[in-house]
């Protein structure tokens, strides 16, 4: 009896999965397919990070990761960002240039755990790091602090494996509280934040940073 030949999966980038210049339309098969692939990538990455969380909890009795949040960027937010940056409104441009359509946020308790988590993510088989930004050691002028990674996550379908870009944000609980508050004040209200409030937010971010440092030293 002849042995069955196992067909090797083709490996493609997300931008080549639907390689065309079709204009972005929310209510089309194309949009639904693309968002489904991004959702699969989030599920894949979240599962791997959940395994790390459980491993450290059960085997080392250490709460390395407090919790994980995920999200898919809303269509209007994607389009607005593309317009702001001057990109042509096509799926190809969207996939190539908008890196935060799929997002995973990893929240930990201690500041030095941010970099432990970053290193563990780098070691996950199949994950490819594209870009990194260290806003922990180098906060933004606004006071924002977090560690950002753009990674490519392999999503294995029946006929091919697709590498999909996902943004990962790693931050402490204190950083997350500040960032959520700042985002709500600046982007979720109709009122423009004045200079005085912006300055106060920066001061609060510095307080959060000092608190994170003291708690880290106490723990060590």
- In-domain check, residue 218: no
Give the number of domains in the chain. 1
Q: What is the pLDDT along the chain (220 residues), one digit of tens a residue?
A: 334 433 445 678 887 776 567 787 766 788 888 999 999 999 999 999 999 999 999 999 999 999 999 999 998 999 999 999 999 999 989 999 999 999 999 999 999 999 999 999 999 999 999 999 999 999 999 899 999 999 999 999 988 999 999 999 999 999 999 888 887 777 655 566 677 777 878 887 888 888 888 888 888 7
Domain housing 55: 10-173
Element (H, E) at 206: helix 195-219
- In-domain check, residue 128: yes
Checking phi first, is residue 98 left (phi over 0); if not, alpha (psi -120 to 50) or beta? beta
In angstroms, the CA 50 to CA 110 distance is 18
In angstroms, the CA 23 to CA 88 distance is 9
Q: pLDDT at position 13, please?
A: 81
- In-domain check, residue 75: yes
Sheet strands (E) in 135-202: 147-156, 160-172
In angstroms, the CA 212 to CA 44 distance is 30
- In-domain check, residue 121: yes
In angstroms, the CA 167 to CA 58 distance is 27
Instruction: Kindly state the tokens that stand for 153.
Output: 């996550």
In angstroms, the CA 137 to CA 146 distance is 9
- In-domain check, residue 198: no
- In-domain check, residue 219: no
- In-domain check, residue 201: no
- How many Cβ atoms sit within 10 Å of the Cβ of residue 118? 19
pTM of the predicted model as reported, rounded to 2 decimal places: 0.86
- In-domain check, residue 179: no
């Amino acid at each position: 009896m002849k042995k069955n030949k196992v067909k090797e999966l083709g490996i493609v980038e997300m931008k080549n999965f639907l390689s065309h210049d079709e204009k972005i339309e929310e209510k089309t098969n194309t949009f639904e397919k693309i968002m489904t692939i991004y959702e699969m990538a989030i599920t894949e990455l979240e599962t791997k990070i959940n395994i790390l969380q459980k491993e450290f909890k059960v085997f080392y009795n250490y709460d390395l990761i407090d919790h994980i949040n995920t999200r898919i960027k809303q269509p209007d937010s994607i389009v607005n960002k593309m317009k702001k940056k001057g990109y042509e409104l096509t799926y190809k441009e969207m996939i190539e240039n908008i890196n935060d359509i799929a997002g995973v946020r990893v929240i930990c308790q201690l500041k030095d755990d941010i970099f432990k988590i970053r290193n563990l993510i780098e070691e996950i088989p199949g994950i490819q790091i594209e870009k990194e930004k260290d806003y922990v050691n180098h906060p933004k002028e606004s006071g924002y602090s977090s560690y950002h990674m753009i990674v490519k996550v392999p999503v294995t379908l029946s006929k091919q494996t697709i590498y999909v870009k996902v943004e990962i944000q790693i931050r402490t609980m204190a950083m997350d509280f500040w960032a959520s508050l700042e985002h709500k004040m600046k982007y979720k209200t109709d009122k423009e934040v004045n200079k005085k409030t912006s300055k106060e937010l920066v001061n609060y971010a510095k307080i959060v940073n000092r608190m994170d440092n003291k708690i880290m030293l106490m723990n060590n």
